[in-house]
Chains A and B, each alone.
Chain A
Amino acid sequence: MIRFWAFVFLFSCLFKFAHSGINEAIYENILPGYVRFAEETSKLHAAARKSCESIKVKEAFHNSFDTWLSIHHIQFGPVEKHNLLFSLYFWPDPKDRTQKSLRKLSAERDEIVNNPVEFRSVSVAAKGLMSIERLLYDKTFSPTSYKCKLIRAITFELQKNASKLKLEWLVLANNIYNSRYEEISYFESSEDVKRAIFSSIITGLEFNEKHRLGRPLGTFERPRPKRAETRRSNRSIKNISLSLISIESLFVSFTDNDFSKVGEAFKTSIIESKALKERDFKQLSDPQVRFKLEKFKGSIMSLSDLIVDDVGRKLKIRTGFNAFDGD
């Protein structure tokens, strides 16, 4: 591991970008995130191979999910190039395709779980972290040898993909905009890279606001607590908190913390997230709980708007001309 970081450090020194923010975001934030995700998913697979019903698998799942939250919002680069996002993480899932796909495999005792190459063709809904959560925490999936094989097939592919992303980020980090990176990312200039990082911050915040919070909140008349992400493993609120902390960290690396108003708004949101309880989503009919969560949702929305207005304008980053208001 020491050798690895020495390698990263050497690379970063040799190929310093002239544009502040990009290098810092990649080497302080994005790359370490992918490295940790590869490590934790590798441990998860190792634990599943030993005993797929042990508490250690659940612990490894939580560690993997924690690290996933530090990179989920980074949706450019290798994850985009190889279209791996959904096979790592299939959520939101309003039609519960994960349940249907896992049930189908289990009911048929599909032998595809024994062949990693063929397993690649399985629907993305039956893969990745959300499928592992379902198999580990949904009691309707009773312990069977088939379930064990299925968990191992999923964790194997997950750790393989995580490792692939880590290795490609190591190459990409030093070639991010002076080449076409195998004709996929089209980062022609530092402006393009800045735009991608900036978009990651905005879309990450929006994902927390609209999906992690907005989906379970539903409407006042009809709250939808069962739509909360990873509710079975009891970590829905924790996910939002960890995600905000990671996005703040990326923001600080990227902007050198030059924006005091945004810094304050991040702090407020993170403090609010830490004050929430996991059981809050189950008590949405309580007006006080609902008010607290709605207020928190509003804070994230304001934070996102502030970044678009304040930072976007100052850094002259323009995004989403058609995406924000298409026709």
Chain B
Amino acid sequence: MRSMEIRSATRRNLIRNILALGLLPMPTLSWSDVGDIKFVTGVRNLNNSYAIVGINNTYEILFNIEVQSRVHSAAYHPIFAEAVVFSRRPGNFALVIDCNTGNIKKRLTLSDNNHFYGHGCFSADGSFLYTSENEISSGHGRVGIWNSNNNYKRVDQYSSGGIGPHEIVTLNEPDSLVIANGGIRTHPNTSRKKLNLDTMSSNISIMEKTGKITQTFSLQDKYRLNSIRHLTVCNNTVACGFQWQGDHFEAPPLMAILFTKNGKLRLINQNEGTRRRMGGYIGSISFSKDGNKLCCTSPSSNIVSVYDFENGGTEQFNCLDASGVAPFENGFLVSSGIGKLYSIDDEGINLVKSHHISFDNHLISLV
């Protein structure tokens, strides 16, 4: 990954240029102007209420905003200190959070025929927010487009290129979106029930900003039941994590690297014991900052796995109800459903903080 300094400098220049053009309302602060907030995540509080929290670099909770129902993931604006938190499927709200004050700036809602799938991302310049959605009547995946420069007005929606889009990430070259279409159809009337396992087909679609899908990647037919759900990007390389819908004792590889230039999706092979410990399920996935390691969590089997690209080995750590993972210093920060935060680096895993809350599925590293 390019150094943070370059990114910050680019960001500052961009802000200066945008401000010079008089295009922006002034009140929103940039990341460098706000306090030391480093992470955003959903939680369940001790009183069973659901909330969004901000975490600083000493792992303290800076704000705790109660919300009506469980949230899933978040996207942060590349320039301004705001993050958008998405409700968990089949959720119908997303909240724009001012990361300086911890206040909700805006509530995004959908028409009755769509619901959120819990993920989204910003365009590289921050002008647009993209959200993964289900068009309920047809069951087709949609990508919702919102103009962040115009108070997050809904602009349009495109086909996601499959059923059940989950995580979406932005790719710089070419300027496009990568969409993990998990392949599983659900309907709010049947809650989270999976309706099409007999025919499910998962893919990764690459979409231009015009909505045109330029490439689609699928797994071999024998891996049809691998639902491609989570993505992480570093140095324009995308890695993905799967959730196996068959017998988890016979789950195939659960991670893959996407090579957009030569059109290949390469599975990461691991030995029987390592794979079995992952329980057929990856809940979150993240590259390290330097892109040399890939970390994923398996909450159902209480395991965190770290794959090392240099030696092809996988190190695994026990972590009860491991959930979110984000790049942190030389390794990762992992959150758990029992309120613990762990740092992982070359020395191993360390418990760094315990809170009396349950951290939800994803931990989003800001800036």
Asked if A184 lies at the interface with its beta carbon under 8 angstroms from chain B, I say yes
Asked if B329 lies at the interface with its beta carbon under 8 angstroms from chain A, I say no
Asked if B108 lies at the interface with its beta carbon under 8 angstroms from chain A, I say no
Asked if A195 lies at the interface with its beta carbon under 8 angstroms from chain B, I say yes
Asked if B293 lies at the interface with its beta carbon under 8 angstroms from chain A, I say no
Given contacts A322-B360, A327-B361, contact A123 B321 (CB under 8 A): no
5 contacts between A and B (CB under 8 A): A93-B249, A123-B272, A321-B323, A326-B361, A327-B229
Q: Is the pair A322, B320 in contact by a Cβ cutoff of 8 Å? A: no
Cα(A325)–Cα(B89), bound, Å: 12
> Closest CB-CB distance, B193 to chain A, in whole Å?
12
Given contacts A93-B249, A327-B89, contact A319 B348 (CB under 8 A): no
1/0 per position for A115-136, CB-CB distance to B under 8 A? 0000000011100000000000
Asked if A175 lies at the interface with its beta carbon under 8 angstroms from chain B, I say no
> Which A residues touch B319, using CB under 8 A?
186
> Closest CB-CB distance, B318 to chain A, in whole Å?
5
Q: Is the pair A83, B316 in contact by a Cβ cutoff of 8 Å? A: yes
Cα(A94)–Cα(B252), bound, Å: 13
How many chain B residues touch A (Cβ–Cβ < 8 Å)?
Answer: 43
Q: Is the pair A326, B281 in contact by a Cβ cutoff of 8 Å? A: yes
The residue in A80, A123, A321, A327 that gathers the most chain B C-beta atoms within 10 A of its C-beta is: A327
> Closest CB-CB distance, A123 to chain B, in whole Å?
6
Asked if A95 lies at the interface with its beta carbon under 8 angstroms from chain B, I say yes
> Which B residues touch A321, using CB under 8 A?
44, 321, 323, 337-338, 358-360
> Closest CB-CB distance, B117 to chain A, in whole Å?
9
Q: Is the pair B281, A186 in contact by a Cβ cutoff of 8 Å? A: no
> Closest CB-CB distance, B320 to chain A, in whole Å?
7
Chain A contacts with B in 133-156, Cβ cutoff 8 A: none
A-B contact number at CB 8 A: 91
1/0 per position for A310-327, CB-CB distance to B under 8 A? 000000001111110111
How many chain A residues touch B (Cβ–Cβ < 8 Å)?
Answer: 33
Task: Identify the closest chain A residue to B117 (Cβ).
Answer: A327
> Closest CB-CB distance, A156 to chain B, in whole Å?
19
> Which B residues touch A292, using CB under 8 A?
none
Q: Is the pair B321, A81 in contact by a Cβ cutoff of 8 Å? A: no
Cα(A195)–Cα(B321), bound, Å: 11
Given contacts A92-B249, A327-B88, contact A185 B318 (CB under 8 A): yes
Asked if A17 lies at the interface with its beta carbon under 8 angstroms from chain B, I say no
> Which A residues touch B322, using CB under 8 A?
322
Q: Which of B247, B249, B277, B299 contacts A322 (CB 8 A)?
A: B299
Asked if A110 lies at the interface with its beta carbon under 8 angstroms from chain B, I say no
Q: What residues make up the interface of A, taking CB atoms closer than 8 Å to B?
A: 76, 80-81, 83, 86-87, 92-95, 97, 123-125, 180, 183-186, 188, 192, 195-196, 199, 318-323, 325-327
Task: Identify the closest chain B residue to A124 (Cβ).
Answer: B273
Q: Is the pair A87, B247 in contact by a Cβ cutoff of 8 Å? A: no
Asked if B250 lies at the interface with its beta carbon under 8 angstroms from chain A, I say yes
Cα(A136)–Cα(B71), bound, Å: 53
Asked if B72 lies at the interface with its beta carbon under 8 angstroms from chain A, I say yes
Asked if B340 lies at the interface with its beta carbon under 8 angstroms from chain A, I say yes
Cα(A123)–Cα(B223), bound, Å: 22
> Which B residues touch A123, using CB under 8 A?
271-273
Cα(A86)–Cα(B351), bound, Å: 26
Q: Which of A87, A183, A320 contacts B273 (CB 8 A)?
A: A87
Given contacts A92-B249, A97-B272, A326-B283, contact A188 B354 (CB under 8 A): yes
Chain B contacts with A in 252-279, Cβ cutoff 8 A: 271-273, 276-277
Cα(A93)–Cα(B247), bound, Å: 10
Q: Is the pair B250, A322 in contact by a Cβ cutoff of 8 Å? A: no
Q: Is the pair B247, A94 in contact by a Cβ cutoff of 8 Å? A: yes
Which 3 A-B pairs have CB atoms at the shortest separation, nearest pair first? A321-B337, A322-B299, A321-B358
The residue in A81, A87, A325 that gathers the most chain B C-beta atoms within 10 A of its C-beta is: A325
Asked if B300 lies at the interface with its beta carbon under 8 angstroms from chain A, I say yes
Asked if B367 lies at the interface with its beta carbon under 8 angstroms from chain A, I say no
